[in-house]
Chain A
Amino acid sequence: MWVWFHKLGSPRYFWGFSQKLMPWLIMACCLAFLIGLPWALVFSPADYQQGETVRIMYIHVPAAMMSMMIYVVMASAGAVNLIWRIKLAELVAAASAPIGASFTLLALITGSLWGKPMWGTWWAWDARLTSELILLFLYLGFIALYNAIEDRRSAGRAAAILALVGVVNIPIIHYSVEWWFTLHQGPTTQGMRVGGSIDPSMRYPLFTMMIAFNLFYVMTLIKRTRTLVLQQERNSGWVREMVGSR
Protein backbone atom coordinates (compact mmCIF):
# COMPACT_ATOMS: atom_id res chain seq x y z
CA MET A 1 0.00 0.00 0.00
CA TRP A 2 2.69 2.50 1.05
CA VAL A 3 4.88 1.46 -1.83
CA TRP A 4 1.99 2.04 -4.20
CA PHE A 5 1.40 5.50 -2.71
CA HIS A 6 5.05 6.38 -3.17
CA LYS A 7 4.93 5.14 -6.74
CA LEU A 8 1.77 7.16 -7.39
CA GLY A 9 3.61 10.19 -6.06
CA SER A 10 6.02 10.02 -8.96
CA PRO A 11 4.68 12.14 -11.83
CA ARG A 12 5.66 9.59 -14.44
CA TYR A 13 3.86 6.71 -12.75
CA PHE A 14 0.80 8.91 -12.16
CA TRP A 15 0.73 9.80 -15.86
CA GLY A 16 0.56 6.17 -16.95
CA PHE A 17 -1.81 5.08 -14.18
CA SER A 18 -4.31 7.93 -14.74
CA GLN A 19 -4.25 7.32 -18.50
CA LYS A 20 -5.54 3.79 -17.92
CA LEU A 21 -8.10 4.92 -15.35
CA MET A 22 -9.55 7.77 -17.40
CA PRO A 23 -11.88 5.94 -19.84
CA TRP A 24 -13.49 4.02 -16.96
CA LEU A 25 -14.00 7.21 -14.99
CA ILE A 26 -15.59 9.01 -17.93
CA MET A 27 -17.94 6.09 -18.52
CA ALA A 28 -18.94 5.80 -14.86
CA CYS A 29 -19.50 9.56 -14.60
CA CYS A 30 -21.65 9.71 -17.75
CA LEU A 31 -23.66 6.71 -16.57
CA ALA A 32 -24.30 8.27 -13.15
CA PHE A 33 -25.48 11.54 -14.74
CA LEU A 34 -27.59 9.70 -17.32
CA ILE A 35 -29.43 7.94 -14.52
CA GLY A 36 -29.33 10.71 -11.94
CA LEU A 37 -30.38 13.77 -13.98
CA PRO A 38 -33.67 12.46 -15.45
CA TRP A 39 -34.48 10.68 -12.19
CA ALA A 40 -33.95 13.81 -10.10
CA LEU A 41 -35.25 16.46 -12.48
CA VAL A 42 -38.16 14.65 -14.14
CA PHE A 43 -39.23 11.37 -12.56
CA SER A 44 -38.87 12.04 -8.84
CA PRO A 45 -42.03 13.36 -7.14
CA ALA A 46 -42.73 17.00 -6.29
CA ASP A 47 -42.53 17.97 -2.63
CA TYR A 48 -45.66 18.36 -0.48
CA GLN A 49 -44.70 21.92 0.47
CA GLN A 50 -42.18 23.15 -2.07
CA GLY A 51 -43.77 21.62 -5.17
CA GLU A 52 -41.42 21.42 -8.15
CA THR A 53 -38.93 23.82 -6.52
CA VAL A 54 -37.59 20.85 -4.58
CA ARG A 55 -35.70 19.79 -7.72
CA ILE A 56 -33.15 22.54 -7.08
CA MET A 57 -32.08 20.42 -4.10
CA TYR A 58 -30.73 17.68 -6.38
CA ILE A 59 -28.13 20.13 -7.69
CA HIS A 60 -27.70 22.28 -4.59
CA VAL A 61 -27.04 19.58 -1.98
CA PRO A 62 -24.43 17.62 -3.98
CA ALA A 63 -22.73 20.88 -5.03
CA ALA A 64 -22.54 22.08 -1.43
CA MET A 65 -21.24 18.68 -0.32
CA MET A 66 -18.54 18.74 -3.01
CA SER A 67 -17.55 22.30 -2.13
CA MET A 68 -16.60 21.15 1.37
CA MET A 69 -15.17 17.76 0.40
CA ILE A 70 -12.89 19.27 -2.24
CA TYR A 71 -11.62 21.80 0.27
CA VAL A 72 -10.66 18.97 2.64
CA VAL A 73 -8.91 17.17 -0.23
CA MET A 74 -7.11 20.40 -1.15
CA ALA A 75 -6.00 21.09 2.43
CA SER A 76 -4.89 17.46 2.94
CA ALA A 77 -2.88 17.53 -0.28
CA GLY A 78 -1.40 20.82 0.94
CA ALA A 79 -0.41 19.19 4.24
CA VAL A 80 1.19 16.24 2.42
CA ASN A 81 3.10 18.74 0.29
CA LEU A 82 4.27 20.66 3.36
CA ILE A 83 5.36 17.61 5.34
CA TRP A 84 6.63 15.15 2.74
CA ARG A 85 7.39 17.61 -0.07
CA ILE A 86 5.66 15.47 -2.67
CA LYS A 87 5.34 17.51 -5.85
CA LEU A 88 2.26 15.67 -7.06
CA ALA A 89 0.37 16.64 -3.88
CA GLU A 90 0.99 20.29 -4.65
CA LEU A 91 -0.44 19.81 -8.14
CA VAL A 92 -3.50 17.96 -6.79
CA ALA A 93 -4.20 20.89 -4.46
CA ALA A 94 -3.71 23.43 -7.25
CA ALA A 95 -5.91 21.43 -9.61
CA SER A 96 -8.67 21.07 -6.99
CA ALA A 97 -9.05 24.76 -6.18
CA PRO A 98 -10.90 25.98 -9.31
CA ILE A 99 -13.18 22.92 -9.27
CA GLY A 100 -14.01 23.50 -5.63
CA ALA A 101 -14.61 27.20 -6.24
CA SER A 102 -17.01 26.34 -9.06
CA PHE A 103 -18.98 23.94 -6.89
CA THR A 104 -19.15 26.55 -4.12
CA LEU A 105 -20.46 29.15 -6.55
CA LEU A 106 -22.97 26.63 -7.90
CA ALA A 107 -24.18 25.87 -4.36
CA LEU A 108 -24.53 29.58 -3.57
CA ILE A 109 -26.40 30.35 -6.80
CA THR A 110 -28.79 27.39 -6.66
CA GLY A 111 -29.37 28.11 -2.97
CA SER A 112 -30.24 31.69 -3.81
CA LEU A 113 -32.62 30.60 -6.58
CA TRP A 114 -34.33 28.30 -4.09
CA GLY A 115 -34.34 30.87 -1.30
CA LYS A 116 -36.29 33.51 -3.20
CA PRO A 117 -39.48 31.45 -3.74
CA MET A 118 -39.21 29.42 -0.51
CA TRP A 119 -37.89 31.79 2.16
CA GLY A 120 -38.87 34.99 0.40
CA THR A 121 -35.32 36.32 0.06
CA TRP A 122 -32.33 35.73 -2.23
CA TRP A 123 -29.84 36.01 0.58
CA ALA A 124 -29.75 36.01 4.37
CA TRP A 125 -26.69 36.66 6.50
CA ASP A 126 -27.19 33.54 8.57
CA ALA A 127 -24.33 31.35 9.77
CA ARG A 128 -24.65 28.70 7.04
CA LEU A 129 -24.80 31.06 4.08
CA THR A 130 -22.10 33.36 5.39
CA SER A 131 -19.64 30.55 6.13
CA GLU A 132 -20.24 29.09 2.66
CA LEU A 133 -19.49 32.50 1.15
CA ILE A 134 -16.26 32.60 3.18
CA LEU A 135 -15.41 29.21 1.67
CA LEU A 136 -15.67 30.74 -1.81
CA PHE A 137 -13.30 33.53 -0.75
CA LEU A 138 -10.86 30.95 0.65
CA TYR A 139 -10.81 29.14 -2.67
CA LEU A 140 -10.29 32.40 -4.57
CA GLY A 141 -7.56 33.39 -2.10
CA PHE A 142 -5.82 30.06 -2.64
CA ILE A 143 -5.92 30.48 -6.43
CA ALA A 144 -4.71 34.07 -6.25
CA LEU A 145 -1.87 33.30 -3.83
CA TYR A 146 -0.71 30.26 -5.79
CA ASN A 147 -0.52 32.32 -8.98
CA ALA A 148 0.92 35.45 -7.39
CA ILE A 149 4.23 33.85 -6.36
CA GLU A 150 6.74 33.35 -9.15
CA ASP A 151 8.65 30.41 -7.66
CA ARG A 152 6.46 27.28 -7.98
CA ARG A 153 7.70 25.50 -4.85
CA SER A 154 7.22 28.45 -2.50
CA ALA A 155 3.88 29.24 -4.17
CA GLY A 156 2.72 25.69 -3.40
CA ARG A 157 3.82 25.94 0.22
CA ALA A 158 2.30 29.36 0.85
CA ALA A 159 -0.99 28.29 -0.70
CA ALA A 160 -0.93 25.04 1.32
CA ILE A 161 -0.63 27.03 4.57
CA LEU A 162 -3.58 29.20 3.52
CA ALA A 163 -5.62 26.07 2.73
CA LEU A 164 -4.76 24.59 6.15
CA VAL A 165 -5.74 27.77 7.99
CA GLY A 166 -9.04 27.83 6.12
CA VAL A 167 -9.88 24.22 6.92
CA VAL A 168 -11.26 25.45 10.25
CA ASN A 169 -14.20 26.83 8.26
CA ILE A 170 -15.33 23.35 7.17
CA PRO A 171 -16.71 22.14 10.53
CA ILE A 172 -18.22 25.60 10.99
CA ILE A 173 -20.17 25.26 7.72
CA HIS A 174 -21.17 21.71 8.54
CA TYR A 175 -22.38 22.31 12.09
CA SER A 176 -23.59 25.92 11.66
CA VAL A 177 -27.20 24.77 11.30
CA GLU A 178 -26.96 22.74 14.52
CA TRP A 179 -24.95 25.17 16.65
CA TRP A 180 -26.92 28.35 15.95
CA PHE A 181 -30.40 29.36 14.94
CA THR A 182 -30.18 29.78 11.19
CA LEU A 183 -32.63 30.43 8.40
CA HIS A 184 -31.12 27.48 6.55
CA GLN A 185 -32.76 24.19 7.51
CA GLY A 186 -30.95 21.53 9.52
CA PRO A 187 -29.27 18.45 8.08
CA THR A 188 -31.50 15.77 6.59
CA THR A 189 -28.93 13.23 5.50
CA GLN A 190 -25.40 12.68 6.65
CA GLY A 191 -23.90 9.97 4.52
CA MET A 192 -26.38 7.14 4.70
CA ARG A 193 -27.67 8.13 8.15
CA VAL A 194 -30.90 10.05 7.96
CA GLY A 195 -31.39 12.91 10.45
CA GLY A 196 -34.58 14.62 9.30
CA SER A 197 -36.73 12.76 6.92
CA ILE A 198 -36.52 12.45 3.18
CA ASP A 199 -38.78 10.03 1.39
CA PRO A 200 -36.96 7.15 -0.39
CA SER A 201 -38.40 8.35 -3.70
CA MET A 202 -36.31 11.52 -3.25
CA ARG A 203 -33.38 10.10 -1.30
CA TYR A 204 -32.19 7.68 -3.99
CA PRO A 205 -32.08 10.17 -6.88
CA LEU A 206 -30.25 12.52 -4.50
CA PHE A 207 -27.65 9.85 -3.69
CA THR A 208 -27.26 9.10 -7.39
CA MET A 209 -26.58 12.78 -8.04
CA MET A 210 -24.04 12.82 -5.20
CA ILE A 211 -22.21 9.87 -6.76
CA ALA A 212 -22.31 11.58 -10.17
CA PHE A 213 -20.88 14.81 -8.72
CA ASN A 214 -18.12 12.85 -6.98
CA LEU A 215 -17.16 11.05 -10.17
CA PHE A 216 -17.20 14.35 -12.04
CA TYR A 217 -14.80 15.82 -9.51
CA VAL A 218 -12.37 12.90 -9.65
CA MET A 219 -12.50 12.99 -13.45
CA THR A 220 -11.82 16.74 -13.74
CA LEU A 221 -9.23 16.57 -10.97
CA ILE A 222 -7.23 13.92 -12.80
CA LYS A 223 -7.55 15.75 -16.12
CA ARG A 224 -6.33 19.01 -14.59
CA THR A 225 -3.57 17.33 -12.60
CA ARG A 226 -2.31 15.60 -15.76
CA THR A 227 -2.05 18.97 -17.51
CA LEU A 228 -0.12 20.42 -14.56
CA VAL A 229 2.16 17.36 -14.44
CA LEU A 230 2.97 17.77 -18.11
CA GLN A 231 3.66 21.47 -17.62
CA GLN A 232 5.91 20.87 -14.63
CA GLU A 233 7.81 17.96 -16.15
CA ARG A 234 8.18 19.52 -19.59
CA ASN A 235 11.96 19.39 -19.36
CA SER A 236 12.23 15.87 -17.99
CA GLY A 237 13.35 12.92 -20.09
CA TRP A 238 10.12 10.92 -20.17
CA VAL A 239 7.99 13.85 -21.35
CA ARG A 240 10.47 14.77 -24.10
CA GLU A 241 10.58 11.16 -25.15
CA MET A 242 6.77 10.88 -25.19
CA VAL A 243 6.23 14.12 -27.08
CA GLY A 244 9.07 13.33 -29.44
CA SER A 245 7.70 9.89 -30.27
CA ARG A 246 4.37 11.27 -31.48
Chain B
Amino acid sequence: MRPKRKRRLYLVALLLVGVGGAAALALTAFEQNLRYFITPTEIVDGKAPKDRAFRTGGLVKPGTVKRAEDGVTVGFTVTDNVNDTRIAYKGILPDLFREGQGIVANGRMRADGVFVANEVLAKHDENYMPPEVAQSLKQAGAMPEHEMGRKQGNKL
Protein backbone atom coordinates (compact mmCIF):
# COMPACT_ATOMS: atom_id res chain seq x y z
CA MET B 1 0.00 0.00 0.00
CA ARG B 2 1.23 3.45 -0.80
CA PRO B 3 2.14 5.55 2.27
CA LYS B 4 -0.59 8.09 1.53
CA ARG B 5 -3.28 5.43 1.52
CA LYS B 6 -1.77 3.81 4.58
CA ARG B 7 -2.01 7.09 6.43
CA ARG B 8 -5.65 7.48 5.42
CA LEU B 9 -6.33 3.90 6.54
CA TYR B 10 -4.86 4.70 9.96
CA LEU B 11 -6.92 7.88 10.18
CA VAL B 12 -10.13 5.96 9.47
CA ALA B 13 -9.18 3.29 12.03
CA LEU B 14 -8.37 6.02 14.56
CA LEU B 15 -11.73 7.67 13.91
CA LEU B 16 -13.57 4.39 14.55
CA VAL B 17 -11.61 3.67 17.74
CA GLY B 18 -12.12 7.23 19.00
CA VAL B 19 -15.84 7.33 18.35
CA GLY B 20 -16.26 3.80 19.72
CA GLY B 21 -14.40 4.71 22.91
CA ALA B 22 -16.41 7.89 23.37
CA ALA B 23 -19.66 6.01 22.86
CA ALA B 24 -18.63 3.28 25.31
CA LEU B 25 -17.82 5.91 27.98
CA ALA B 26 -21.10 7.75 27.39
CA LEU B 27 -23.16 4.55 27.53
CA THR B 28 -21.47 3.42 30.75
CA ALA B 29 -22.07 6.83 32.30
CA PHE B 30 -25.75 6.81 31.42
CA GLU B 31 -26.25 3.12 32.16
CA GLN B 32 -29.03 3.75 34.68
CA ASN B 33 -31.03 5.85 32.23
CA LEU B 34 -30.68 3.39 29.37
CA ARG B 35 -32.54 0.66 31.18
CA TYR B 36 -36.22 0.60 30.50
CA PHE B 37 -37.16 -0.81 33.90
CA ILE B 38 -35.66 -1.99 37.19
CA THR B 39 -36.26 -5.36 38.79
CA PRO B 40 -38.00 -6.24 42.08
CA THR B 41 -34.62 -7.24 43.50
CA GLU B 42 -33.27 -3.76 42.85
CA ILE B 43 -36.32 -2.30 44.60
CA VAL B 44 -35.56 -4.49 47.62
CA ASP B 45 -31.93 -3.33 47.48
CA GLY B 46 -33.19 0.25 47.73
CA LYS B 47 -32.13 1.26 44.22
CA ALA B 48 -35.61 2.49 43.28
CA PRO B 49 -36.24 6.24 43.25
CA LYS B 50 -38.53 7.15 46.13
CA ASP B 51 -39.95 10.47 45.07
CA ARG B 52 -40.48 10.03 41.34
CA ALA B 53 -42.07 7.62 38.89
CA PHE B 54 -40.09 4.72 37.46
CA ARG B 55 -40.72 1.42 35.70
CA THR B 56 -40.46 -2.01 37.16
CA GLY B 57 -41.09 -5.36 35.60
CA GLY B 58 -41.03 -9.10 35.95
CA LEU B 59 -43.11 -12.20 35.51
CA VAL B 60 -46.69 -12.17 36.75
CA LYS B 61 -46.62 -14.68 39.61
CA PRO B 62 -49.25 -17.40 39.07
CA GLY B 63 -52.14 -17.25 41.54
CA THR B 64 -51.55 -13.64 42.62
CA VAL B 65 -53.86 -11.80 40.21
CA LYS B 66 -56.82 -10.33 42.12
CA ARG B 67 -59.55 -8.35 40.44
CA ALA B 68 -61.69 -5.92 42.43
CA GLU B 69 -65.48 -5.71 42.18
CA ASP B 70 -65.40 -2.85 39.66
CA GLY B 71 -63.63 -5.08 37.12
CA VAL B 72 -60.87 -2.62 36.20
CA THR B 73 -58.91 -2.45 39.42
CA VAL B 74 -56.44 -5.27 39.58
CA GLY B 75 -53.66 -6.31 41.90
CA PHE B 76 -50.89 -8.77 41.10
CA THR B 77 -47.36 -9.71 42.07
CA VAL B 78 -44.40 -9.63 39.70
CA THR B 79 -41.26 -11.59 40.36
CA ASP B 80 -37.74 -11.84 38.95
CA ASN B 81 -37.55 -15.30 40.54
CA VAL B 82 -35.60 -13.80 43.45
CA ASN B 83 -37.80 -11.07 44.89
CA ASP B 84 -41.40 -9.97 44.40
CA THR B 85 -43.17 -6.64 44.01
CA ARG B 86 -46.90 -6.15 44.55
CA ILE B 87 -48.51 -3.96 41.90
CA ALA B 88 -51.87 -2.18 41.98
CA TYR B 89 -53.35 -0.96 38.70
CA LYS B 90 -56.61 0.52 37.51
CA GLY B 91 -57.21 0.29 33.79
CA ILE B 92 -57.25 -2.01 30.81
CA LEU B 93 -54.53 -4.64 30.71
CA PRO B 94 -52.79 -5.57 27.43
CA ASP B 95 -53.91 -8.73 25.62
CA LEU B 96 -50.73 -10.58 26.49
CA PHE B 97 -51.20 -10.02 30.22
CA ARG B 98 -51.50 -13.40 31.90
CA GLU B 99 -49.89 -15.44 34.65
CA GLY B 100 -46.29 -16.31 33.88
CA GLN B 101 -46.10 -13.54 31.26
CA GLY B 102 -43.55 -10.73 31.53
CA ILE B 103 -44.86 -7.22 32.10
CA VAL B 104 -43.45 -3.74 32.60
CA ALA B 105 -45.35 -1.29 34.82
CA ASN B 106 -44.88 2.47 35.01
CA GLY B 107 -45.77 4.19 38.27
CA ARG B 108 -44.45 4.97 41.72
CA MET B 109 -43.89 3.28 45.05
CA ARG B 110 -46.51 3.83 47.76
CA ALA B 111 -45.42 4.10 51.39
CA ASP B 112 -46.74 0.60 52.16
CA GLY B 113 -44.47 -0.97 49.54
CA VAL B 114 -47.12 -1.46 46.87
CA PHE B 115 -46.19 -0.18 43.42
CA VAL B 116 -49.07 1.89 42.04
CA ALA B 117 -49.00 1.67 38.26
CA ASN B 118 -50.63 4.06 35.80
CA GLU B 119 -49.53 1.99 32.79
CA VAL B 120 -48.95 -1.73 32.31
CA LEU B 121 -47.21 -3.04 29.19
CA ALA B 122 -46.73 -6.68 28.24
CA LYS B 123 -43.22 -7.80 27.44
CA HIS B 124 -43.17 -10.52 24.85
CA ASP B 125 -40.37 -13.07 25.09
CA GLU B 126 -38.20 -14.43 22.30
CA ASN B 127 -40.06 -17.71 21.79
CA TYR B 128 -42.30 -18.28 18.79
CA MET B 129 -44.28 -21.47 18.18
CA PRO B 130 -47.64 -22.68 16.93
CA PRO B 131 -50.32 -23.49 19.58
CA GLU B 132 -50.01 -27.26 19.05
CA VAL B 133 -46.28 -27.19 19.77
CA ALA B 134 -46.87 -25.06 22.87
CA GLN B 135 -49.49 -27.57 24.02
CA SER B 136 -47.20 -30.57 23.70
CA LEU B 137 -44.25 -28.73 25.28
CA LYS B 138 -46.48 -27.79 28.22
CA GLN B 139 -47.54 -31.41 28.67
CA ALA B 140 -43.91 -32.52 28.62
CA GLY B 141 -43.01 -29.71 31.05
CA ALA B 142 -40.42 -28.40 28.59
CA MET B 143 -41.85 -24.94 27.94
CA PRO B 144 -38.99 -22.48 27.41
CA GLU B 145 -38.80 -19.95 30.21
CA HIS B 146 -39.69 -16.30 29.62
CA GLU B 147 -36.53 -14.25 29.24
CA MET B 148 -37.45 -12.11 32.23
CA GLY B 149 -37.19 -15.14 34.48
CA ARG B 150 -34.00 -16.42 32.94
CA LYS B 151 -31.77 -13.43 32.39
CA GLN B 152 -31.33 -12.59 36.06
CA GLY B 153 -28.01 -10.96 36.71
CA ASN B 154 -26.77 -11.37 33.15
CA LYS B 155 -27.21 -7.70 32.32
CA LEU B 156 -24.45 -5.13 32.56
Contacts and interface: CB of A to CB of B under 8 A. Distances in A.
Interface stretch (B45-53, B64-72, B116-124): B116-124
B62 interface: no
A120 B94 CA distance: 5
B104 interface: yes
Interface residues of A, number: 44
Interface stretch (A4-12, A43-51, A212-220): A43-51
Contacts of B123: 119, 183, 185
Interface string B1-42: 000010011011001100110010001000100111111000
Contacts of B34: 127, 179-180
A204 B72 CA distance: 41
Contact of A188 (B126, B130, B155, B156): B126
Nearest to B127: A197
Interface string A29-73: 000000000000000011111100010010000000000000000
B126 A186 contact: yes
Interface residues of B, number: 48
A107 B7 CA distance: 38
A168 B126 contact: no
B113 interface: no
A185 B155 CA distance: 14
B124 A199 contact: no
Contacts of B36: 124-127, 180-183
A203 to B, nearest CB: 8
A181 B155 contact: yes
A161 interface: yes
B15 A161 contact: yes
B19 A168 contact: yes
Contact of A196 (B125, B130, B156): B125
A49 B124 contact: yes
A238 B27 CA distance: 51
B129 A119 contact: no
Interface string B102-146: 001000000000000001111111111111111100000000100
Interface of A: 45-50, 54, 57, 79, 82-84, 117-121, 124-127, 161, 164-165, 167-168, 172, 178-183, 185-188, 195-199, 201-202
Given A124-B121, A187-B126, 8 more contacts: A46-B131, A47-B130, A118-B122, A120-B95, A165-B15, A181-B39, A186-B151, A197-B127
18 contacts: A47-B131, A50-B96, A83-B8, A84-B5, A118-B96, A119-B122, A120-B96, A121-B119, A124-B121, A126-B36, A127-B35, A167-B19, A178-B154, A179-B34, A181-B155, A182-B36, A196-B147, A199-B128
